[in-house]
Structure 1
Amino acid sequence: MRQFFVREIKDVMVLTGDEAWHAAKVLRLKAGSNIQVVSANGQAAEACIVCADPTEVTVRLLSVIERTSEPPIHITLAQGLAKGDKFDYVVQKAVELGVHTIIPLVTEHCVVKYDAAKKQQKQARWQKIAAEAAKQCHRLSVPVVQDILSFSELWMQERPNYTTLFFYEQEDKLGVKQILQQSMQQSFLLIVGPEGGFSKNEVAGARERGAHVVSLGPRILRTETAATSALAIVMYECGDLGGTLCQE
């Protein structure tokens, strides 16, 4: 069942803007089609289309859905900027896996450079990708893609009660699994570097700030593979990726 976002759940709701266009023009949904709607506060419901127009789609509430697709843990992914469409891929897959927030990160070895206007354009594009991915996988909220931050700006944001995992390809003593099996936290900051990895200064800075510098294994992964692998591992060990029984 296709999912759309609305402001609030009520007897009669109206999709406008991109949501209406996507429903009526792209998907060609007609009156009588059933859809799922999700409100700004994360409530889900099944609804039936009454009238479909590219500028406005009116739907009628059928029933409230008593379930959640949001993970029990809170993950923020700080991902180094990458070339081409790699960051688009990371945003899409991170949302599918259950990320809460994504921070585009400028590091010493980033090849990609954006001016102020390009930064705004990219952030808007990534937020749109996040919204589309959230709809596709039936998330009850749209993860936020923050403005692009520098490495120093990342550490200026306070995150109390977070476990910070800094993924470094040259770490050969401490694996991420060891930390996750010891952690009792429900909030995580995952930091993944760009194609060139992190500099020694950045690694030292992460250690000074209490981050766990960890390995994903003996093989060197592409940046987009490292990001999705890290998310999947944390979500499996501490979240709901293995199914609801893993939370019992």
Structure 2
Amino acid sequence: MASLWSMLPTLVLIAILQPQGSLADADTLQDFCVKIPTPAVHVNGFQCKDPAQVEASDFTSTVLKNPGNTSNGLGAAVTPANALTFPGLNTQGMSAARIDLANGGLNPPHFHPRATELLYLAQGTLLVGFVTSTSENQLYALKINAGELFVFPKGLVHFQLNLGPGPALAFSSFNSQNAGTSQAAKALFVSNPIINDVVLEKALQLSAAEVQRLRALISKI
């Protein structure tokens, strides 16, 4: 009996944490909660618009209608439709994005800390892939064509490369109203404030000059 009581705190902690691991955003407690443009306080999500002021237009958006500008160093543009850009998505536990890729364009290695991504390729041919979080760092990558789907598990580093010829267009959905995105290269080399050079030199086995060169290069992307 004594040993059972000693295990009780651990059992309670497991009971609290285990259900959370299988959830995306928390379930909504009402039909909708349209985001207020300028909230007065910071909350996990956004304050709700007065239901009496809600209109049908709050539940539609043209944010993914037009192509993004791919005239950059990566040849890629990602346009998000989340609770920040589409207020009607607030508390709905989902969001989307448009991915435009010029011929040879790359959506570079990145991850979404709060969501799984399901990508639908509408036009073109992509090389897509993700790397597992295991010690083997297993890569799962393949070529997909228009009309095909690919899923990127939550929190794993992944990428999309346009194999051409011509531009590619994809749409992604996420099981979070704000999936978050962290590009590996930018997180390492152009954080604010920047990571100490010695950390990058040792972690990546680079010279001081190479770190500075990469900082300058990545800051322009």
**Which TM-score bucket, shorter chain as reference?**
under 0.3
